[in-house]
Structure 1
Amino acid sequence: MKMAQKHNVLTIALLALMAMVVTPVLAQEKTPNDPRLFTPGKLTVSTSEPSYPPWVLDNNPEAGEGFEAALVYALATELGFKKEDVVWVDVTFDGAIAPGPKAYDFSVQQISVTPDRAKVATFSDVYYQSDKAVIALPTSAVAGAKSFADLKAAKWGVAVGTTDFDYVTNVLGIADAAVFDDQAGVFQALQGGQIDATVAALPTALYATCCQVPEAKITAILPKDPKDEGLGLLFAYENPIVPWINEGLAALKSKGTIDELAKKYLIADPSIPEITQ
């Protein structure tokens, strides 16, 4: 056999061998055995500890109750996973949004999609965008507010570095809001009379007025934050499974599953007044 012919035969054999190796791998992509998963065969999801209603009920995401816990299991089913194949890990909010590799497939804990975060992590398509809500004591002057002008007369408090801080400053036009290290500090100030009101995403406000600050109430519903794109699942930067996860989310949206979960877990009292300007 001539040298050129031997070379061609070897090349063909090598390509055939490579095809035998590559084809099974490609065939498993977008299945529960996708080799690109953190642990093939499992959908590994992080959330905070503790997790709060209405996002996760009873601090037990494995039960699948609460908007985000139920969403994850609906998504897992859509992608072909069994319920027992969903693995939950505890990661703080700060840990989730920090740059670097992730020891899970994605994080779900009410993470707003922002340009700055998108520089160091990759988000799924938005799965929920919330109205904002005013949280105040019933005796506060804010309790009867009917306009943004009325709201400006109050003493506001918000947690530093949050979309709530940006909303109070840029949307409501409050330039002198008191700033606290975290939301717990905000609620303590509200209870102590240091501030009249704070603002939060509606589901957060529902939980706060139910369990964290039961003496407070939601006094008004405010428009969505125009600079807050909504909540997304957060992945390590340029994680290749994101398009597959987005396909699953799109299917849930088209079936009305996400709307049904929102109605089940994220509904406010319809008698609460809305302030739009």
Structure 2
Amino acid sequence: MSVQISSWRNLAVAASLAAALAAGTTFAQENTPDDPRLFTPGQLTIATSDPVFPPWMMDNDPSNGEGFESAFVYALAEKMGFAADDVVWVRETFDQAIAPGAKDYDFGIQQISVTEDRSQIATFSDVYYQPQKAVVAMPGSAVEQATSFADLREVRWGVMIGTTDLDYVEQIIGVTEPAVYNDQVGLFQALQGNQIDAVATELPTALYLTAVQVPDATIAAILPPDENDYGHGLIFEQGNDLVEWVNEAIAELKSEGVIDALVAEYLIADPELAVITE
């Protein structure tokens, strides 16, 4: 009987030792490309939209490292110890990105603004970019004469569903019934077709819109920031503690001037643009 008890004790000690060794190994691997908390250890799995648009990403290819967000991701991945070939992209809609629930990737990026409401159902990284809002209109639009929010409330607005642009037009400008579109293509077509007078969008998107997608359109004005929109953050499944590791890398990129350099390369606007305040 004593031999059997001794064997049980030995097995228990061995199991405890194995568990301790495993825990130590796991801890040692954290914040490395082999981190077991990654969706797929050995790679950084990132979600973005389909399609993607300049100046955020170029040629509808997030993997080419061109455009502000693509270049930012690869700089971030390198800072975290990943080779470029270890970055894996998946696609999802904006609505899927901001929906609660499990995510089949490590984090998402597609100009997602950090807000209090979204932070209740997802975990966000520190803000990596704070964009301004812009008013885009076709030549001759009534919005070109606007000098106040009261003037802006008199024109026909178009915005994309589920975005902080919609919140801004309704809650900050005070427009009661803006036209809402499911995607950017429909929004821009409505602008060209004179179905709406103005579009509110982030300034970098407005720059590309007026340069390439709707070259006849112009940026009529810059709008003051929304205090409820903290800027763009990477979005994680609620409670994902990879965010601490990612935030450390973001902080290093900021301190080294990498993010400022990418902003200067891809997102700078004309400093002479008019600003409309309330």
> Deviation at 1:244?
0.9
Q: Distance in 2 between the 1:191 and 1:185 partners?
A: 10
Match runs of 1:110-125 below 5 Å? 110-125=111-126
Residue matched to 1:76:
77
Match runs of 1:54-73 below 5 Å? 54-73=55-74
Residue matched to 2:87:
86
Residue matched to 1:101:
102
> Deviation at 1:3?
11
Q: Percent identity?
A: 57
Residue matched to 1:126:
127
Could you state the TM-score of these two structures normalised by the residue count of structure 2? 0.91
| Native 8 Å contact 1:137 1:217 kept in 2 | yes
One-letter amino acid of the structure 1 residue matched with residue 252 of structure 2: A
Gaps of at least 5 residues in structure 2 are: none
Q: Distance in 2 between the 1:58 and 1:2 partners?
A: 71
| Native 8 Å contact 2:153 2:173 kept in 1 | yes
Shifted more, 68-77 versus 139-148: the winner is 139-148
Secondary structure of 2:27's match?
A: helix
For the pair 1:173 / 2:174, whether they are aligned, the reply is yes
One-letter amino acid of the structure 2 residue matched with residue 41 of structure 1: G
One-letter amino acid of the structure 2 residue matched with residue 119 of structure 1: Q
Q: Distance in 2 between the 1:68 and 1:60 partners?
A: 11
Q: Distance in 1 between the 2:182 and 2:97 partners?
A: 18
> Deviation at 1:89?
1.4
Residue matched to 2:203:
202
One-letter amino acid of the structure 2 residue matched with residue 23 of structure 1: G
Provide Cα deviations, 1:57-94, integer angstroms capped at 9, x if missing partner: 11121111101001100100111111111111122222
> Deviation at 1:106?
0.8
Secondary structure of 1:65's match?
A: coil
Q: Distance in 1 between the 2:229 and 2:211 partners?
A: 25
One-letter amino acid of the structure 1 residue matched with residue 203 of structure 2: L
Secondary structure of 1:214's match?
A: coil
| Native 8 Å contact 2:95 2:162 kept in 1 | no
Against the structure 1 CA distance between its residues 103 and 31, is the aligned structure 2 distance closer, same or farther, given a 3 Å change threshold?
A: same
Secondary structure of 2:59's match?
A: helix
Provide Cα deviations, 1:235-254, integer angstroms capped at 9, x if missing partner: 11211211111111111112
One-letter amino acid of the structure 2 residue matched with residue 114 of structure 1: T
| Native 8 Å contact 2:116 2:228 kept in 1 | no
Against the structure 1 CA distance between its residues 8 and 198, is the aligned structure 2 distance closer, same or farther, given a 3 Å change threshold?
A: same
Provide Cα deviations, 1:156-187, integer angstroms capped at 9, x if missing partner: 22233321121112211222433334333332
Against the structure 1 CA distance between its residues 184 and 6, is the aligned structure 2 distance closer, same or farther, given a 3 Å change threshold?
A: closer
Against the structure 1 CA distance between its residues 91 and 159, is the aligned structure 2 distance closer, same or farther, given a 3 Å change threshold?
A: closer
> Deviation at 1:14?
4.3
Secondary structure of 1:26's match?
A: helix
| Native 8 Å contact 2:143 2:197 kept in 1 | yes
Q: Distance in 2 between the 1:218 and 1:46 partners?
A: 30
Aligned pairs, number: 277
Q: Distance in 1 between the 2:67 and 2:204 partners?
A: 11
Could you state the TM-score of these two structures normalised by the residue count of structure 1? 0.91
| Native 8 Å contact 1:129 1:224 kept in 2 | no
Gaps of at least 5 residues in structure 1 are: none
Residue matched to 2:49:
48
Residue matched to 1:239:
240
Secondary structure of 1:275's match?
A: coil
Q: Distance in 1 between the 2:3 and 2:86 partners?
A: 55
Residue matched to 2:24:
23
> Deviation at 1:204?
1.4
Q: Distance in 2 between the 1:227 and 1:119 partners?
A: 14
For the pair 1:212 / 2:213, whether they are aligned, the reply is yes
Secondary structure of 1:17's match?
A: helix
One-letter amino acid of the structure 2 residue matched with residue 177 of structure 1: P
Residue matched to 2:259:
258
For the pair 1:270 / 2:271, whether they are aligned, the reply is yes
Q: Distance in 1 between the 2:142 and 2:237 partners?
A: 45
